[in-house]
A and B are shown apart, each in its own frame.
Chain A
Amino acid sequence: QKEVEQNSGPLSVPEGAIASLNCTYSDRGSQSFFWYRQYSGKSPELIMFIYSNGDKEDGRFTAQLNKASQYVSLLIRDSQPSDSATYLCAVGQGGKLIFGQGTELSVKP
């Protein structure tokens, strides 16, 4: 079992829709969770981080964390074509981040 799992996609949504990206992790003791966006040929860019159970909102982005289910998600409201990228989930563990393989999101005009 991989430590951090994401659906590889591609996830395709129409412009203006809500994109839902999901991530599960195996280490129940993990305390910090991050979402990064990576455009093709570019480096990862931090979008959100969350430490406590529940929702955290920042503009069009909402991170949701459920430690009991070992599940973290990212919702993107009013998706735009410029949101098309690979989204990486990362979990803090022992002084480092463990990354999932990423979910490719495609937003169609």
Chain B
Amino acid sequence: KAGVTQTPRYLIKTRGQQVTLSCSPISGHRSVSWYQQTPGQGLQFLFEYFSETQRNKGNFPGRFSGRQFSNSRSEMNVSTLELGDSALYLCASSLGDGGNSPLHFGNGTRLTVT
């Protein structure tokens, strides 16, 4: 069974631009969660989607948004990029609730904002 697939693997953007990251979950997994990982803050929860609905949201500004499609694939968007948005963005899928079911992470998208 294929794992979680994230594209692209690397991105370099300029301050003020916007970016869209893509995630394909493990087949059969309907929950998709997004996390941001930085050296200083560690892994922080962004949001979780289940059946095309945002079920939970972390403490990030409105510049961070996401959506989920009917095939469970998910995208996250960051608008008006800031230098502090440079991070590894991880998508994870699970069979059930993203807080009680094991999460399976993709390889991540490393975003660099210059």
Say which size band chain B's interface belongs to.
20 to 34
Task: List CB contacts (< 8 Å) of A24-61 with chain B.
Answer: 31-32, 34, 36, 42-46, 49
B44 shortest CB reach to chain A, Å = 8
B106 shortest CB reach to chain A, Å = 6
Map CB proximity to A onto B3-39 as digits: 1 under 8 Å, 0 otherwise: 0000000000000000000000000000001010000
**When the two chains form their complex, are residues B43 and A99 in contact, meaning their CB atoms are under 8 A apart?**
yes
Contact of B102 among A46, A100, A101 (CB under 8 A): A46
Task: List CB contacts (< 8 Å) of A50-109 with chain B.
Answer: 88, 90, 92-102
Q: When chains A and B are docked, how far (Å) is the Cα of A92 from the Cα of B48?
A: 13
Residues of A contacting B: mostly: strand
* Number of A-B contacts defined by CB within 8 Å: 59
Q: When chains A and B are docked, how far (Å) is the Cα of A52 from the Cα of B106?
A: 27
Contact of B98 among A36, A95, A100 (CB under 8 A): A95
**When the two chains form their complex, are residues A96 and B98 in contact, meaning their CB atoms are under 8 A apart?**
yes
**When the two chains form their complex, are residues B90 and A96 in contact, meaning their CB atoms are under 8 A apart?**
no
**When the two chains form their complex, are residues B106 and A102 in contact, meaning their CB atoms are under 8 A apart?**
no
B14 shortest CB reach to chain A, Å = 24
Interface residues of B (CB under 8 A from A): 33, 35, 42-45, 48, 55-56, 58, 88, 90, 97-108
